[in-house]
Structure 1
Amino acid sequence: VDLVAKEAQAYAPGDPLNPAAGMGAIVSPEQTDRIMGFVDEARTSGARLVTGGERITRDGSDCYVQPTVFDDVDPGSTLAREEVFGPVLAVTAFDTEDEAVALANDTPFGLAASVATSSLSRAHRLADLIHAGTVTVNGVDAFSAWTPFGGFKGSGFGRDLSLHAIDKYVGLKTVWINH
């Protein structure tokens, strides 16, 4: 967690045209308010703030949020169960693979997941067990125009990218005739 926090601090928000900036502003004041609502609730829910958690003003805009890491996040908390769509990481410890898979699958969403491991057999086993549209091993958000992208459960219907996306733009019809 300390290493993740150190990396998060290197993503200090700023002008997205400045190569030194880790990220730009949040898309709107409303989304920034929403993200800060998650942060404020996590502060009072027993999660431990490791780094970040502050709204920042840059160049007259207060739509910047420090990269934020919370540890000891309760799996039933809002931060653990909802999609923040902001620079906030919720860390929940586990002891076994079964517990990790149960935590990963106990969500109304299933867009993407990441697995960090040095074991190729573990990578395959967990990727098979985790109910997400994309599972990236030792990385985050890997995707390609040649592979389908989409999730399960509340994370969307259908697929974007690849030939599988074409079905969203055509009206398929089946006609059965008994003559």
Structure 2
Amino acid sequence: MFIFDEFKTDVGLIQLVLPEHSHAPKLFEIVEENRDEFKKWFPWTDKTNTVNDELAFINSARVSNANYELLALTILLNDEPIGFIDLHNIDAENHSADIGYWMDSKNEGHGIMTTAVKRLTLIAHNELSFHKIRIEAADSNHRSQAVARRAGFTHEATLHDNILTLDGYRNVDIFSHIVAH
């Protein structure tokens, strides 16, 4: 297992690791248990209906990681998968990327995702030399917006009717973290 980063929380050791096939059953279980909530925000939820779908995603993420198109990481709590975080929409020319994340609702309230976002942001700025990191969150996804704010991101813009969800088109708030090099 390749550990990209790790930190301690009040509930145990958190590790950000490259996704492995062994993570698929637990990640799929989390999607199943949180499906109703995830469907509100993530279009991929309806395409993740079996462990094999999760395995296909992990395979795709591993190829994209190898091609420097994505940095996808499984979030482990005491060696158990509890969620996912990534850098996507990587723009090497403009030194920018987006962070996306999701986690089992059972593990909310311990600062895990906020710390994971902070750590990945530092890695993106300091080790990957990215100037700007963005987080997009539907205007009604208050939990995701709270993570962005607690992680030190600033609200930059609102894009109207930008994503199609189960409830129709939604506005998306853009949060950013900028570091001069």
TM-score (norm 1): 0.32
Structure number with higher strand proportion: 2
Between Structure 1 and Structure 2, whose CA radius of gyration is higher?
1
Of structures 1 and 2, the one with the larger relative CO (CA 8 A, separation 6+) is: 2
Q: Which has the higher helix share?
A: 2
TM-score, structure 2 normalization: 0.32
